């Protein structure tokens, strides 16, 4: 039957393409079409349904099927990512990675491919959650689904941090968590301290808050505490936004001494640390500022986008009770709630079932192998991995002398390969000789294209 | 087996309650417990799993099960909605409704109960979407799932508005859509025009933007155009935020003349109209400013929270192409994307299948009956429905002389009934004698309690 359905679809599409059927024209009725093309009415119904799903035609109740009357592409700035102004700014990697088609290679993207995720466990968990009419249809409570907040509190207890489930606020993503904190804590012009290099979207986010970015060099085990304190004393930043381990883009992690010192410096200067630890589960254990500090001067952020599913859109904040209250009200005012209760309950289901722990153990092993493989391949091409990544999928690599990562990223983009050039991560624009690679997303083909484009300059 | 599982759970819970097992203590192994209680190991495994899900105990891989070590409730402001400061502000109804337990009656809440929603269609659509590994695990494109944007563009074409799918941006909710627009268009201190009365959360949202609220009286068919223009000329608001039909809280709708005049006034004064039409599908047809204006001075907002599922967290914006570009970048910066691609694809699935149209037709009929019933019951209690609601579930009612809605709401809240008192909807605080009722959520019991509390004052 598939062949006949496709025949019907091709016939109708051909009539539209040739102009025999124009926008808004009525299609032949199911019976007419079946008779004309010598197929069964069921075949035509299925073909029309698929064309409705594709947006080619529209069904109008009691009238029939019509060629879809879509507006022409709007005038104004170009609409598709590849056609956009090609300036490399903090949005460049986001747009190029998120809007890429399935054929595009994305060694510069910041997430794992679908086949690294526990798909069957996610499907089972979603089915279980969707069976509950309340989870399926209603808004949920203002702090977010209690079963997930309880699991998060239990996981924190396992790390040695006593946190009540009411000190956890679920959000629509890790980024949204940071955005809420910025809304609560920042006024335009306030200084915010970032690592150099740091996750590129921190800069885009802070620009949306009209914050003044101040940066501190990120060393092999985090910022140098003396230099950090001098900058804090001089610039009086309201927030310091960072990842404990693995750090983005370097994959490095704080030493215990640095993780211990920074919250003390923050407390002394009235600065709040936002510890964005959405990669935390990629390392078995690492010193966490939120744990050492007991959530006094530190706010902890997390998400399941990197380890379970980015599509479920669920992040969280752990913080002092009075801050959570204020953030909760702010999230109601600006979003009428956080993540889908259905998504949050499904995530809780995966956590409870023990599948998450097994999945993460497997991910760590697989990623360690992938990082080693990629480091070897990159080394053979003359790239050098910076520092000693403690986990995760990111490798931060120095290019051979004479190479510029922005030029290389532009050249590779034109050939269907999205790279993450160093300066999008660098507030001081001093990382032009670096690229961030995703060990789970870098194919031999992408490396070959990159090598060819590197050869052009040599 | 259920009885035996419950027996195991009750036994363990009893030991915890009596202090025989304390926080962090190890539970007997599955084998020990099975032997001691004369049940099968499978029964104990199931019982322990349920207690893990309930957060009573925690599983530690390779070690066993432990009594959960949860922090005590944090100090500071009270944690639960009922215990919060009882001041009635724009957050009051949101908190009370969202955080209410299952026993609480919510005639003041702003959504339909689960059994009014097409649950089986939603479950099927979610299953279909979750079958796709990409939809299940990845972020999705920056504008949001293309299949839903296409369906929305087609639906608009049916209303007579040509909109390209790239002029549609999906967001995490209708509120989040308005929040993004405010972030793009407002600076602190800018004036924003609201109806009086209007949806209470508009005020909470604008407070988060430090906007200056200016209000215009809302008449039986919208604001009076002459008065509207005088206010616009005097106050120079940057935005006018409203609902065409049904209006929240009144359920009224713009006359064609008013819907035609307001965008012209906006254009003449450089003001943008945000038409929040998340209730639009509750009326078969109504004059829409976005359609009349062709999306020049008007931005259209929508959502599926009121008609399909609030849990799927999906809203949208239709606007000029260059505004959509800017809003899209802003959503990446502040949330790294909008709604779950899985949710969006599931919604598209329901729209394509024709189930949505049938569901909405049924909802309209059922709501018309429910509104008439409730209006009759309220009339018998001395309350008078304002205006002539054109659709939806809201009835805006004047209390008998001498009654104050804030006092009544406090008294009823203490008895487990959440009302929506008039002044939370009124920027000028002139609606103290009104209450908003949800025709799908107002039980005879809630009305009886309200009548008893009204009698106290008489």
In chain A, what percentage of residues exceed pLDDT 90? Answer: 75
* CA atoms A409, A410, A415, A420: torsion sign: positive
Beta strands B64-67 and B191-196 are unpaired
The CATH architecture assigned to A90-115+357-457 reads Alpha-Beta Complex (3.90)
Q: CB–CB of B138 and A111 under 8 A?
A: yes
Other beta carbons less than 10 A from residue A322's beta carbon: 13
Using only the alpha carbons of chain A, give its radius of gyration. Answer: 25
A23: pLDDT strictly greater than 80:
no
- Distance between CA A455 and CA B87 in Å, rounded? 69
B70: pLDDT strictly greater than 70:
no
pLDDT digits (tens, 9 = 90+) for A86-97: 577 878 888 899
Q: Domain coordinates of chain B in residue numbers?
A: 2-67, 86-110+357-457, 119-353
A17: pLDDT strictly greater than 70:
no
Q: Which residue, among A139, A97, A305, has the nearest Cα to B109 in the 3D structure?
A: A139
Among A92-101, B82-91, B224-233, the range with the most confident prediction by mean pLDDT is B224-233
**A241-266 average pLDDT score:** 97
pLDDT digits (tens, 9 = 90+) for B187-227: 999 999 999 999 999 999 999 999 999 999 999 999 999 99
pLDDT digits (tens, 9 = 90+) for A288-337: 999 999 999 999 999 999 999 999 999 999 999 999 999 999 999 999 99
Instruction: Say what the pLDDT of residue A80 is.
Output: 33
pLDDT digits (tens, 9 = 90+) for B5-32: 878 887 777 666 655 666 777 788 888 7
Write the residue in B71, B173, B176 that is nearest to A164 by C-beta: B71
Q: How confident is the model at residue A437 (pLDDT cuts 50, 70, 90)?
A: very high
Instruction: Say what the pLDDT of residue B1 is.
Output: 63
The C-alpha of B151 sits at a distance from chain A's nearest C-alpha, in angstroms, of 7
Report the side by side order of strands in the sheet with A315-318. A168-171, A315-318, A298-303, A272-276, A239-242, A191-196, A212-217
The C-alpha of B36 sits at a distance from chain A's nearest C-alpha, in angstroms, of 25
Question: Contacts of residue A278 in chain B, CB cutoff 8 Å?
Answer: none
- Distance between CA B146 and CA A54 in Å, rounded? 10
Terminal Cα distance for chain A, rounded: 56
**A266-294 average pLDDT score:** 96
Q: CB–CB of A111 and B139 under 8 A?
A: yes
* Residue B151: closest C-alpha in chain A: A55
* CA atoms B262, B267, B268, B271: torsion sign: positive
Judged by average pLDDT, the poorest of B36-45, B152-161, B347-356 is B36-45
Helix or strand holding residue A65 (H, E): strand A64-67
Write the residue in A136, A172, A309 that is nearest to B311 by C-beta: A136
Bigger pLDDT: A45 or A201? A201
Q: How many residue contacts between A and B have a Cβ separation below 8 Å?
A: 306
Query: Residue B84 has which token pair?
Result: 């919060």
Q: How confident is the model at residue B86 (pLDDT cuts 50, 70, 90)?
A: low
Write the residue in A69, A122, A163 that is nearest to B71 by C-beta: A163
Bigger pLDDT: A201 or A88? A201
Instruction: Say what the pLDDT of residue A450 is.
Output: 97
Q: How confident is the model at residue A73 (pLDDT cuts 50, 70, 90)?
A: very low
**Three-state helix/strand/coil letters over chain B:** CHHHHHHHHHHHHHHHHCCCCCCCCECCCHHHHHHHHCCCHHHHHHHHHHHHHCCCEEEECCCEEEECCCCCCCCCCCCCHHHCCCCCCHHHHHHHHHCCCCCCECCCCCCCCHHHCCHHHHHHHHHHHHCCHHHHHCCCCCCCCHHHHHHHHHHHHHHCCCCCHHHEEEECCHHHHHHHHHHHHCCCCCEEEEEECCCHHHHHHHHHCCCEEEEEECEECECCHHHHHHHHHHHCCCEEEECCCCCCCCCCCCCHHHHHHHHHHHHHHCCEEEEECCCHHHCCCCCCHHHHHCCCCEEEEEECCCCCCCCCCCEEEECCHHHHHHHHHHHHHHHCCCCCHHHHHHHHHHHHCCHHHHHHHHHHHHHHHHHHHHHHHHHHCCCEECCCCCCCCEEEEECCCCCCHHHHHHHHHHCCECCEEHHHHCCCCCCCCEEEEECCCCCHHHHHHHHHHHHHHC
**A62-80 average pLDDT score:** 56
Q: Which residues contact B262 (CB under 8 A, 6 or more apart)?
A: B222, B223, B225, B228, B240, B254, B273, B289
Residues paired with B131 in a beta bridge: none
Q: How confident is the model at residue A18 (pLDDT cuts 50, 70, 90)?
A: low
The C-alpha of A226 sits at a distance from chain B's nearest C-alpha, in angstroms, of 31
pLDDT digits (tens, 9 = 90+) for B247-302: 999 999 999 999 999 999 999 999 999 999 999 999 988 999 999 999 999 999 99
User: Mutate which of B81, B335, B343 to disrupt the A interface (most A C-beta within 10 Å)?
Assistant: B335
* Residue B80: closest C-alpha in chain A: A166
Mean pLDDT of all residues belonging to chain B: 91
Instruction: Say what the pLDDT of residue A79 is.
Output: 34
A81: pLDDT strictly greater than 60:
no
Instruction: Say what the pLDDT of residue A78 is.
Output: 34
Instruction: Say what the pLDDT of residue A2 is.
Output: 66
Question: Contacts of residue A311 in chain B, CB cutoff 8 Å?
Answer: 135-140, 340-342
Instruction: Say what the pLDDT of residue B297 is.
Output: 96
A76: pLDDT strictly greater than 60:
no
Q: CB–CB of A137 and B154 under 8 A?
A: no
In the CATH scheme, what is the code of domain B2-67? 1.10.10.10
Coil, strand, or helix at residue A42? helix
Question: Contacts of residue A157 in chain B, CB cutoff 8 Å?
Answer: 58, 68-71
B77: pLDDT strictly greater than 50:
no
B133: pLDDT strictly greater than 90:
yes
Coil, strand, or helix at residue A26? strand
**B72-84 average pLDDT score:** 39
In chain B, what percentage of residues exceed pLDDT 70? Answer: 93
* Residue A58: closest C-alpha in chain B: B154
Q: Which residue, among B377, B384, B428, has the nearest Cα to B403 in the 3D structure?
A: B384
Question: Contacts of residue B77 in chain A, CB cutoff 8 Å?
Answer: 321-322, 325
ipTM: 0.85
Domain B119-353 is found in CATH 3.40.640.10: yes
Domain B86-110+357-457 is found in CATH 3.90.1150.10: yes
- Distance between CA B93 and CA B396 in Å, rounded? 15
In the CATH scheme, what is the code of domain A119-355? 3.40.640.10
Q: CB–CB of B334 and A205 under 8 A?
A: yes
Instruction: Say what the pLDDT of residue A85 is.
Output: 44
Coil, strand, or helix at residue A87? coil
Q: How confident is the model at residue A69 (pLDDT cuts 50, 70, 90)?
A: low
Instruction: Say what the pLDDT of residue B31 is.
Output: 83
Q: CB–CB of A313 and B162 under 8 A?
A: no
pLDDT digits (tens, 9 = 90+) for B146-186: 999 999 999 999 889 999 999 999 999 999 999 999 999 99
């Amino acid at each position: 039957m598939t062949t006949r359905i496709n025949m019907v679809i091709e016939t109708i599409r051909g009539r539209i393409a040739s102009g025999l059927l124009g926008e808004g024209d009525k299609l032949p009725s199911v019976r007419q079409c079946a008779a004309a093309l010598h197929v069964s009415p069921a075949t035509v119904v299925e073909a029309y349904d698929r064309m409705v799903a594709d947006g080619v035609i529209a069904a109008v109740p009691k009238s029939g099927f019509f060629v879809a009357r879509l507006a022409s592409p709007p005038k104004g700035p170009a609409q598709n990512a590849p056609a956009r102004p090609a300036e490399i700014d903090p949005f460049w990697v986001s747009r190029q990675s998120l809007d890429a088609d399935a054929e595009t290679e994305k060694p510069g993207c910041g997430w794992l491919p679908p086949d690294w995720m526990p798909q069957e466990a996610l499907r089972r968990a979603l089915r279980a959650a969707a069976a509950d009419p309340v989870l399926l249809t209603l808004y949920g409570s203002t702090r977010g689904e209690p079963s997930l907040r309880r699991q998060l509190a239990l996981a924190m207890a396992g790390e040695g941090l006593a946190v009540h489930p009411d000190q956890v606020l679920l959000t629509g993503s890790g980024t949204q968590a940071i955005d809420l904190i910025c809304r609560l804590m920042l006024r335009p012009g306030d200084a915010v301290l970032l690592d150099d290099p740091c996750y590129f979207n921190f800069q885009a986010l802070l620009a949306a808050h009209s914050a003044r970015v101040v940066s501190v060099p990120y060393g092999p085990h985090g910022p140098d505490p003396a230099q950090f304190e001098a900058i804090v004393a001089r610039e009086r930043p309201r927030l310091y936004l960072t990842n404990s381990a693995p750090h983005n883009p370097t994959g490095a992690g704080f030493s215990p001494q640095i993780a211990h010192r920074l919250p003390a410096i923050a407390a002394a200067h009235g600065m709040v640390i936002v510890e964005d630890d959405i990669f935390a589960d990629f390392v078995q254990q690492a010193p966490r500022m939120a744990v050492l500090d007991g959530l006094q001067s530190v706010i902890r952020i997390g998400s399941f986008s990197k380890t379970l599913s980015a599509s479920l859109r669920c992040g969280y904040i752990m913080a002092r009770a009075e801050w959570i209250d204020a953030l909760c009200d702010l999230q109601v005012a600006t979003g009428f709630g956080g993540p889908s209760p259905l998504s949050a309950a499904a995530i809780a289901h995966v956590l409870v079932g023990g599948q998450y722990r097994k999945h993460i153990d497997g991910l760590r092993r697989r990623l360690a192998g992938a990082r080693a493989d990629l480091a070897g391949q990159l080394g053979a091409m003359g790239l050098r991995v910076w520092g000693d990544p403690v986990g995760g999928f990111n490798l931060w690599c120095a290019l051979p002398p004479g190479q510029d990562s922005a030029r290389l990223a532009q050249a590779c983009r034109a050939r269907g390969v999205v790279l993450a050039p160093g300066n999008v991560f660098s507030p001081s624009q001093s990382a032009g000789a670096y690229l961030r690679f995703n060990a789970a997303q870098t194919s031999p083909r992408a490396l070959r294209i990159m090598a060819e484009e590197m050869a052009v300059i040599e």
